[in-house]
Structure 1
């Protein structure tokens, strides 16, 4: 069997497993491991697994990602996220679109602590959606403000994506994080101005 055929079979098996709702990591790993075993034998599998586990677990930069996520969780459960939203609501509440502006501001501040776009969107979605809809905001503006605020989690440091990108491209993570500050502030202000 040619290498191309084996490659197509592995990709096809991966898509079938994903279609069956198998977690993506398992859907990618199982066909790959079977193909490596078929092509090179079990020594190659153990060598690859050992190499991959060692290089990724011994990487100092990756330790920051769980720490940022932990920090975001602590802020969420401590209620500081709600306090951020309340603070911005007091600042901008009297302006037209003030609650949407408040969700952007609170998202920016939360993003500056969690480093995760998902955590930012989830936290602000839980807190701000109900209040905005009860205040008479349209669903499109409510969803748009929360989704736009969530994107700030990628740009404003500490950003998990910057850490992964810096490792993949072998760039300075510190420089990448510093480079995200001004664009993050500008994007936050532009979102607020747009609303």
Structure 2
């Protein structure tokens, strides 16, 4: 998301990440108001805003969406792209691609298992955390950065990181995520657009 140059597409991408997989339907006037746009009809909105936004997401992110409109109503259905590897490159063979995506998924699963076991996370506590970590690469990087900061602060204070368990651990990581997010360009544009992990 952070590679996209159009600020309104970035805001749209953050909004999209909060929509559930069943999708949503909004009126054109709602979209115009929400994203500071001035489209006169749904056709223009779809082809001049949504189409380039989707192309940007397909290029830079693992979250994309399908859309269609009927009258003034616009239907948006988000979905995840399995891998963000450039398959147009001659150096990447199909089997290597499958293996790379598979390896990445295994690493993610192992890391989530580590968090669950080490910090006593229950299944219900893992739901949102796991979803955010597994599906959005930028959020995963932010969580890892927050976790590294958490460990560093604890070491400086001579505290064992495992003293915080379950929801307390997630709350602390969430606090650090908010701090780190607000230091970014996106944080300046959308101070409350940070990922929510609990």
Larger helix fraction of residues: 1
Larger radius of gyration: 1
Larger strand fraction of residues: 2
- TM-score norm. by structure 1 comes to 0.28
